[in-house]
């Protein structure tokens, strides 16, 4: 898939925009967006060139509102209580073009996306355990919940490094791996044995 936002795959930037408009349509003004939608939006808004300023001391939730122009938009509700609007069309515009991504073979990009999908449950389980052990942000002191907590890999054991080591250890050529899709959107590795082996590798080393 050409574009990936928080493990969701999109063929075009217009598809990403449609995903945002669907979230706006089903989220009443002032209400928090659903957890799965928030994960997607956090991933998308990282491309916004004013993300650091708009997120401020940290984002507690993402909500919606009607603009003075009669259109609806997303709001970042900061930990300090302040709210600021953020443009999803601007964020989409700043996603790197396909020209740079196509320097890597599409099969390699699809394989990486499928490998991400395979360990989603591990990521969520790790997040839930961490939230259970410590529910306060060590930087801001704000309460941590699913909606404002994210999980990433710690260097040098990054996701790409663990996946690369797995391919070397199992003599797997990513270009030969069959990658399917769930509902035509989420990339999946079709080989059940390979997928299980990768999950074990990630669980052991992430």
Residue 6 pLDDT level (bands cut at 50, 70, 90):
confident
User: What whole-number distance in Å separates Cα of residue 77 and Cα of residue 131?
Assistant: 20
User: What whole-number distance in Å separates Cα of residue 111 and Cα of residue 170?
Assistant: 15
Average pLDDT over residues 115-130: 89
pLDDT tens by residue, 61-88: 999 998 877 789 999 998 888 889 999 9
Of the candidate CATH numbers 3.40.50.300, 2.60.40.2550, 3.40.50.150, 3.10.450.40, the domain formed by 3-93 belongs to: 3.10.450.40
Q: Is the pLDDT of residue 198 over 90?
A: yes
Please name the residues in contact with 19: beta carbons below 8 A apart, sequence gap of 6 or more. 8, 10, 40
Residue 98 pLDDT level (bands cut at 50, 70, 90):
low
Cα–Cα nearest to 47, from 77, 87, 85: 87
For residue 140, with 0-12 CB atoms within 10 Å meaning exposed, 13-18 middle and 19 or more buried, which class applies? middle
Instruction: Name the residue with tokens 């990282």.
Output: 46
Instruction: State the chain's mean pLDDT as an integer.
Output: 86
pLDDT tens by residue, 23-73: 999 999 999 999 889 999 999 998 898 888 888 888 889 999 988 777 899
Do residues 147 and 38 touch, judged by C-beta distance below 8 A? yes
Is pLDDT larger for residue 114 or for residue 98?
114
Q: Is the pLDDT of residue 185 over 70?
A: no
pTM: 0.52
Determine the pLDDT at residue 96. 81
What are the extents of the domains in the chain?
Answer: 3-93, 104-205
Determine the pLDDT at residue 139. 73
- 59-63, 125-129, 143-147, 156-160: which has the minimum mean pLDDT? 143-147
Q: At what angle do helices 159-170 and 106-118 cross, to 10 degrees?
A: 100
Is pLDDT larger for residue 135 or for residue 115?
115
In sequence order, the β-bridge partners of residue 187 are: 181
Look at the chain and count its residues.
206
Residue 127 pLDDT level (bands cut at 50, 70, 90):
confident
Determine the pLDDT at residue 23. 96
């Amino acid at each position: 898939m050409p574009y990936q936002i928080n493990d969701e795959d999109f063929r075009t930037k217009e598809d990403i925009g449609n995903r945002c408009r669907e979230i706006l349509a089903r989220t009443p003004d002032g209400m928090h967006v659903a957890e799965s939608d928030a994960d997607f939006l956090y991933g998308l808004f990282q491309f916004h060139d004013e993300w650091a300023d708009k997120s401020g001391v940290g984002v507690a939730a993402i909500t919606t509102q009607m603009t003075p122009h009669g259109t609806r938009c997303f709001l970042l509700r900061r930990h300090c209580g302040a709210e600021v609007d953020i443009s999803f069309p601007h964020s989409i515009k700043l996603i790197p073009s396909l020209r740079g991504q196509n320097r890597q073979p599409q099969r390699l990009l699809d394989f990486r996306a499928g490998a991400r999908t395979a360990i989603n449950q591990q990521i969520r389980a790790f997040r839930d355990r961490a939230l259970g052990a410590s529910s306060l942000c060590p930087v801001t002191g704000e309460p941590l919940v699913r909606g404002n907590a994210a999980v990433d890999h710690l260097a040098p054991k990054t996701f790409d490094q663990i996946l690369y080591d797995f391919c070397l250890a199992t003599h797997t050529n990513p270009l030969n791996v069959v990658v399917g899709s769930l509902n035509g959107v989420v990339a999946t590795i079709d080989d059940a044995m390979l997928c299980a082996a990768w999950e074990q590798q990630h669980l052991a080393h992430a």
